[in-house]
Structure 1
Amino acid sequence: MTEVATRTIEVGGEPGYAVHVGPGALERLGEHARPGRRVLVVAQPGRDALVTATVTVLADAGAVPVVAEVPDAEAAKTAQVLVSLWARLGQEGFTRDDLVVGVGGGAVTDLAGFAAATWLRGVDSVLLPTSLLGVVDAAVGGKTGINTAEGKNLVGAFHPPRAVLCDPAWLAGMPRADYVSGLAEVLKAGFIADPVILDLVEADPVAAADPTADPALAVELVTRAVRVKADVVAADLREASLREILNYGHTFAHAVELVEDYRWRHGDAVAVGMVYVAELAHRAGLLDAALLGRHRTVLAAVGLPTAYPGPDRWHRLRAAMARDKKSRGSTLRLVVLEGLARPTRLVAPDESLLRAAYDAVR
């Protein structure tokens, strides 16, 4: 098998940091440890081998690691779990010179990052995403947060990590459905900025959906998706304007997640959300039929959903969409495409268009 080289993507801004993707990425963690430095390792269940290796790297560098296991997936992103981490940080005497490390999927890196952002008004963090969604989306960009009963990620802070480390071997053990779900964020990067991603996936969708089939392809897709996000967040850390394009498909997706009580995988919801805004843009005269169709075909090719079946839930979805972070007052703003890699905003679209797009994805 061809040896896969480690890639490094620099994320600009203040502070800047690097994302290292490839074999041996964990060894870079030692650069952030030093004798006596306390390190809270916030870990997802089922990552015992990686947590042990993480603790070993830290201890070998003279740091003092403390492990805090949190619930799996979105169950970790609650105020109650966050309070338990604050308590642990206080009990262990963490200061501003200490470090928080997040090991797990996107929910854990979101939580660990927010704990780091809020403890003593901010301590360093390093994130070790173990899911495709985690490395291409949640861990990059400095967004941290938790969920509330009213919606997803409504409480959080911008707090860039000191580094993001991901070894493709950590992704190879993912359940297929979870890996495929993460591909939605990869394909999103292709639609909004890097069409080569779409070409690579369309050339071999079976290999794209299996990181063990072609590890080099997996690293290429991850690297390209991370680079898209890195370029955008470096120009707009706090989502004042440009960064909103990374939310392509997310307004509808977050509404689906809320209505479904987070039983839907995030990437699955994003896939349907992208089809929704493509239908909306097509009806608004911005997007041609060919690109609309390409949304459905490339998403379906890797096994992602392109429809939201079931009873009519439009009123609940529309109410959830109104609370989207891109909204301004009562004005709904959605990221749409007016061509491949040409994102724009659709402000206050007619309610009949919103409803028609919903009917099209049912």
Structure 2
Amino acid sequence: MQLPSIKQSFKVEYEYQLYFTTGLFNIQNSLFTTLIADYKTFEPVKLLFIVDDGVQNHHPDLVSQISAYCKANEAVMKFTGSIVVPGGEQVKNGNDSIDSVLKGINTHKICRHSFVIAIGGGAVIDMVGYAAAIAHRGVKLIRIPTTVLSQNDSAVGVKNSVNAFKKKNFLGTFAPPYAIINDSGFLRTLEQRDWISGIAEAIKVALIKDNNFFKYIADNAIALKNREMEPMQYVIYKCAEMHMHHIAQGGDPFESGSSRPLDFGHWAAHKMEFMTNYELRHGEAVAKGIALDVTYAHLIGLISDADLQHVLDVMIHIGFDLSLPVKSSGEIDTLLNGLEEFREHLGGELTITLIAGLGVKHDVHTIDLQLMKQAVVRLNHQFALN
């Protein structure tokens, strides 16, 4: 007997919010308490905090402040413990930190109605999100990003990942957080290179989506470099808003297709991070990747020389070093291997986002390797390596 096939379809609606505050764990600040209380009203919610060691070093009283905050609101929340993990991209390499988070989830009996709270830069947010997503098939996550890049880009998305097989983000999940909370107080203790590097993601989204936003960044380049908080807050807000809108309105929130415009400049950035053993910050690599791709876009006639130079000048005024970490033809070839790795990561045909004008996205499916090599040489001639 031939039985008919059974077909079923369903939709799952996701909702999460991005909040902005300062001094999140000050006793007088009710934002975090209200957020937790809105989830469960009949008993305290168990919370496990994972803290970036860089954040802990700059804010040595943070864990005790969190504990005191939870104690003051014990009718709503229960502090089960905190785990300090290394910051930076190295936290995504190997299993030590993942295992540490998973062990903490098990030890403190964090269930699917408890919360893991990730406090740190983008790499820590990525790693903790991955661990939370695979524990119990997914425990709830609140992200508290502490860098410009994580507040305006990496922490506001739905992705979590770690590195494996010498490839960036080879292992990962799509798992939206319960909420994200941007606390501007954490930004004040950033090193200059971390303050600057996150602006690269704002430049990225502005160049492919909104020329007026790029003009704002250009007009405020020196103010941003000089750590003025008001323009930085606007850049973070606008970039995060555009990122979240893209996820909701782009029609492909879990990236099942081959086009990924929010990875403009990233094929080369990911490869350069690996080639430098992650000594480059992600945002620094993205700035270099954008510089390379806009140079290539000019060489194939997509943008004018004036637009190319304007983009490069804006990034230089902010403080980016746009030279590429390649000195030989062999290293250039290694860098260009990143194109195939990027295609493999996406699946399907190669899709590279370029621009056909400021604020005008343009996808291509083939890359002229000789012209891309010319773009590399041109950049390194213009911005000679020290």
- Does TM, scored on the shorter chain, surpass 0.5? yes
Q: TM-score normalized by structure 2? A: 0.84
Identify the residue that residue 173 of structure 1 maps to in structure 2: 189
Q: Report what 1:23 is aligned to.
A: 22
Counterpart of 2:3 in structure 1 is none
Shift of 1:278: 0.7
In structure 2, distance between residues paired with 1:260 and 1:135: 25
SS at match of 1:94: coil
Alignment of structure 1 residues 34-183 onto 2, 5 Å: 35-45=43-53, 46=57, 47-59=59-71, 60=73, 61-78=76-93, 79-183=95-199
Shift of 1:242: 9.0
1:32 corresponds, among 20, 26, 36, to 36
- The match for 1:272 among 274, 282, 288 is 288
SS of equivalent to 2:352: strand
CA 1:325–1:130: 2 relative to 1, 3 Å:
farther
Paired AA for residue 36 in structure 2: H
The reply to whether residue 195 of structure 1 matches residue 211 of structure 2 is yes
CA-CA distance at 1:24 after TM superposition: 5.0
Distance 1:144 1:243 in 2: 19
Q: Which moved more, 1:57-66 or 1:151-160?
A: 57-66
Of residues 213, 216, 221 in structure 1, which corresponds to 2:230?
216
Q: Could you tell which deviates more after superposition, 324-333 or 202-211?
A: 324-333
**Residue 304 of structure 1: CA displacement?**
0.7
Identity among equivalent pairs (%) = 25
Unpaired segments ≥5 residues, structure 1: 1-12
Cα displacement (A) at 1:169:
1.5
Of the candidates 255, 262, 271, which is equivalent to residue 246 of structure 1?
A: 262
Verify the 8 A CA contact 2:120 2:144 in the aligned structure 1.
yes
C-alpha RMSD of matched pairs (Å): 2.1
After TM superposition, the runs of 4+ consecutive aligned structure 1 residues lying more than 3 A away are: 24-27, 33-36, 47-59, 240-243, 325-332
Distance 1:148 1:326, change over 3 A: closer
Tell me, yes or no, if the aligned pair for 1:109 and 1:139 is still in contact at 8 Å: yes
Structure 1 residues 210 and 129: alpha-carbon distance in aligned structure 2, compared to 1, 3 A threshold: farther
**Contact 1:282 / 1:292 at 8 angstroms: preserved in 2?**
yes
Counterpart CA distance in 2 for 1:259 and 1:63 is 43
Matched residue of 1:262: which SS?
A: coil
Residues 75-99 of structure 1 show CA distances to partners (whole Å, capped at 9, x for unaligned) of: 2213221022112211222211111
Give the distance between the partners of 2:345 and 2:163, measured in 1 at CA: 18
Q: Structure 1 residues 100 and 168, CA, compared in 2 at 3 Å: closer, same or farther?
A: same
Q: How far apart are 1:220 and its partner, in Å?
A: 1.0
Matching residue within 342, 351, 355 for 2:369? 351
CA deviation after TM superposition for structure 1 residue 309, in Å: 4.8
Question: Are 2:354 and 1:336 equivalent residues in the alignment?
Answer: yes
Cα deviation digits, residues 254-288 of structure 1 (max 9, x gap)? 11011111111111110110011111111222222
Higher-Rg structure is 2
Secondary structure in 1 aligned to 2:160?
Answer: strand
Q: Which residue of 1 aligns with 2:339?
A: 321
2:271 paired residue among 250, 255, 271: 255
The answer to whether the Cα contact below 8 Å between 1:40 and 1:65 also exists between their aligned partners in 2 is yes
Match of 2:379 in 1: 361
Q: Normalising by structure 1, report the TM-score.
A: 0.89
Contact 1:232 1:242 in 2 (8 A): no
Decide whether aligned partners of structure 1 residues 286 and 298 sit closer, same or farther in structure 2, where only a CA change above 3 A counts.
same
Give the stretch that moved more between structures: 273-282 or 185-194: 185-194
Partner SS for 1:15: coil
Task: Report the Cα distance in structure 1 between the residues aligned to 2:51 and 2:16, rounded to whole angstroms.
Answer: 22
Report the CA distance shift for 1:257/1:56 in structure 2 as closer, same or farther (over 3 A). Answer: same
Mapped partners of 1:25, 1:242: distance in 2: 39
| Separation in 2, partners of 1:21, 1:74 | 25
Q: How many residues align?
A: 348
3-state DSSP of counterpart to 1:139? helix
Q: Is the 8 A contact 1:147 1:153 kept in 2?
A: yes
The aligned amino acid for 2:254 is R
Alignment-derived partner of residue 3 in structure 1: none
Residue pair 1:191, 1:341 contacting (<8 A) in 2 also = yes
Mapped to 2, the partners of 1:254 and 1:303 lie a distance apart of: 20
Q: Are the aligned partners of 1:194 and 1:228 in contact in 2 as well (CA < 8 Å)? A: no
Q: Secondary structure at the match of 2:320?
A: coil
